[in-house]
Structure 1
Amino acid sequence: MTNKVQLGSSEVFANPIGLGTNAVGGHNLYPNLDEQVGKQLVKTAIESGIQLIDTALLYGPFRSEQLIGEVIKEMGCREQVVLATKIGPKFVDEKMLIDNSADFLRSEVDAALQRLQTDYIDLMYLHYPDEVTPKDEAIGVLKELKDAGKIRAIGVSNFSPDQLKEANKDGYVDVFQGQYNLLERGAEQAYLPYTREHNISFIPYFPLASGILAGKYNKEYVFHDLRANMPHFQGEAFVANLEKVEQVRKIADAKGEEVAHVVLAWYLAQDGIDFIIPGAKRADQVQSNLKTLDVRLTAEEIQAISSIFQ
């Protein structure tokens, strides 16, 4: 197992390979999820040495947090786990509303503590920015809750670069989670210079671009879930992306490694990316993701992969 890495400037440290859990109880995102399979997924991750378990109110909604809370309670392993979850949105008459108000944040942190059956959350994110609350005020509320011992580190997700700067006006933001992968590299200019300068850990979501960068699909594959509408999986773009993945496969094969592990190792080789949280639907995928830590990329290989996806 590798050395633990620090989340921003917080006192929280974890293995750099975490687990994204939108397929654990995320019935609103994926059809036909088996909750027992989801719970076993989390159990296997913890038993295998993964610490950072990333969930959200939105997954389910609510159900992912509840299932993860059940697993941690059943295993009696709270101290081994770095629990990350995300506040919002709120549901009013079956509509989703974004709310960063102080009252909502305070009540939602308490509700998340109950769902997760714990008395503290290691990393609490604002999942989405609302249009009215000053971002530094919202983060100030999370800072109060951190001072009260309810949360240990503060994150934001899906904020624009300007919103991130406003949120971090007082230097309280530890983590930014945003879209970044080899097919979506805008964060290299938009976010990473700022997050590096201010010691904010950047955690990419969709690091394997919903599986396409894992090297497991061919041109004939037909998708029946949320991927069916994603641009990376459409027509000529899909074919072009698969061709790029095949170029990475040559590098992976020469090293005796799997494509997914080489791609994930490439992220960890980027300055400012401290953690990755690939999702999984099966326990064997969780254990497979951990093999990333054994991959050693040369400077030439890192540059070659970067060039393939320019």
Structure 2
Amino acid sequence: MKTIDFNPFLFEEEPILDNSVKIGKSDVTTGPLGLGTNKVGGHNLFDGLKDEDGAAVVKAALNNGISLLDTAFMYGLGKSEEIIGDVIQDYDRSKIVIASKAAQDPNNGLKPNNDPKFLKKSVDEALERLNTDYIDIFYIHFPDEQTPKAEAVNALAEEKKAGKIRAIGVSNFSLDQIKEANIDGQVDVVENHYSLVHRQAEDQIFAYLKENQISFVPYLPLAMGLLTGKYSRNDAGKFSKFSSDEFGKIIDNLSKVKIIADKHQATVAQTILAWYIANPNISVVIPGARLPEQVESNAKSLDIQLSSAEFDEIDKLF
């Protein structure tokens, strides 16, 4: 359990007004709540997805004050990007922040490939699928074993200079890999696994990110649904990574979160998302959704103002 430093994670030379978030040292700004789109066209990842539902999910996000859409080639092997590309034609592109990712090489069994030529080709292909002239944030989705990370980032820096992307990200990188990637100070954002029940990033990378003005975006913030409050002790078998005692404690603590949620006339999931939004170490939280009503529910977390005491209480529960 960690105590969060409430010093705002803002950069002194360019203060950000209202609740907008600046991505690293780039000129990309967005709101603190985004949409993870692995269930938008991600047929290779989830069963029973419908493309029309995916399109409706993206529209629901854009219609409810969510401007950042986080996608990847791996979400349906390009299908997620295509659905997003179709939807955004009916919206003002300048008000949308698109983040995409690549690394999995379709010509090599989807193994990670960080080769500069592959990454540049991936950017071009993503631009075509997204039907847009630029991508706001482009991540190296996974590190490979052979490419020097600085070389990979330099390739994206060339794409940034060419106006094809606006910010450079890395995802699923360890601290050492982040340091290598950022040797020239060109990494703007890191997207790694993090949630209230998976907090290793706090000790492993947060200090370095803050010191180097690198934003942080957590994926799986609701821990595959565990932190939504919809599960009971009887569901321990669905979350085998936790011992029965650990799982029971999480369920008990979520009941305490519900007390806070009730005070705000909110759900547990909305309150957990509000905690991430209030956390100065987190730039944008990107919960996923299968249906538009889930997006609409998540968007209500933007209206929840946790007190410092409530923030600290949730922080100490996990």
TM range (shorter): over 0.9
User: Which residue of structure 2 aligns with residue 279 of structure 1?
Assistant: 288
Given residue 116 of structure 2, which amino acid in structure 1 is its aligned partner?
A: A
User: Which residue of structure 1 aligns with residue 138 of structure 2?
Assistant: 124
1:154–1:173 CA contact under 8 A, matched in 2: yes
2:101–2:138 CA contact under 8 A, matched in 1: yes
Counterpart pick for 1:268 among 277, 282, 285: 277
Structure 2 CA distance for aligned equivalents of residues 127 and 76 of structure 1: 27
1:231–1:237 CA contact under 8 A, matched in 2: no
User: Which residue of structure 2 aligns with residue 144 of structure 1?
Assistant: 158
> Structure 2 matches for 1:51-130, cutoff 5 A?
51-73=67-89, 75-92=90-107, 95-130=109-144
Q: Deviations over 1:46-95 (max 9, x none)?
A: 1222110000000112111111111112x1432221010001201236x2
Structure 2 CA distance for aligned equivalents of residues 255 and 157 of structure 1: 34
Q: Deviations over 1:273-309 (max 9, x none)?
A: 1111111111111121121121111222122111111
Q: Deviations over 1:11-56 (max 9, x none)?
A: 1111111000000000111101011011011011112221100000
Structure 2 CA distance for aligned equivalents of residues 257 and 31 of structure 1: 30
Structure 2 CA distance for aligned equivalents of residues 170 and 208 of structure 1: 34
| Structure 2 residue 266 is the aligned partner of structure 1 residue 250 | no
In structure 2, the gaps of 5 or more residues are 1-17
- Indicate how the Cα distance of structure 1 residues 45 and 135 shifts in structure 2: closer, same or farther if over 3 A, else same: same
Structure 1 CA distance for aligned equivalents of residues 39 and 30 of structure 2: 22
- Indicate how the Cα distance of structure 1 residues 230 and 278 shifts in structure 2: closer, same or farther if over 3 A, else same: farther
> Structure 2 matches for 1:193-208, cutoff 5 A?
193-208=207-222
- Indicate how the Cα distance of structure 1 residues 134 and 230 shifts in structure 2: closer, same or farther if over 3 A, else same: farther
Structure 2 CA distance for aligned equivalents of residues 49 and 83 of structure 1: 14
TM-score, normalized by length of structure 1?
0.92
Structure 2 CA distance for aligned equivalents of residues 101 and 165 of structure 1: 18
| Structure 2 residue 50 is the aligned partner of structure 1 residue 34 | yes
Structure 1 CA distance for aligned equivalents of residues 263 and 66 of structure 2: 28
Residue identity (%): 46
| Structure 2 residue 164 is the aligned partner of structure 1 residue 164 | no
2:170–2:178 CA contact under 8 A, matched in 1: yes
SS at 2:110's partner residue? Answer: strand
Structure 1 CA distance for aligned equivalents of residues 51 and 236 of structure 2: 25
Superposed CA RMSD:
1.7
TM-score, normalized by length of structure 2?
0.90
Counterpart pick for 1:24 among 40, 48, 63: 40
Given residue 41 of structure 1, which amino acid in structure 2 is its aligned partner?
A: V
Structure 1 CA distance for aligned equivalents of residues 128 and 26 of structure 2: 23
Q: Which moved more, 1:297-306 or 1:194-203?
A: 297-306
Given residue 95 of structure 2, which amino acid in structure 1 is its aligned partner?
A: Q
- Indicate how the Cα distance of structure 1 residues 252 and 229 shifts in structure 2: closer, same or farther if over 3 A, else same: closer
Given residue 98 of structure 2, which amino acid in structure 1 is its aligned partner?
A: L
Structure 1 CA distance for aligned equivalents of residues 316 and 133 of structure 2: 46
Structure 2 CA distance for aligned equivalents of residues 125 and 69 of structure 1: 18
Given residue 19 of structure 1, which amino acid in structure 2 is its aligned partner?
A: L
Deviation at 1:266, TM superposition (A): 1.4
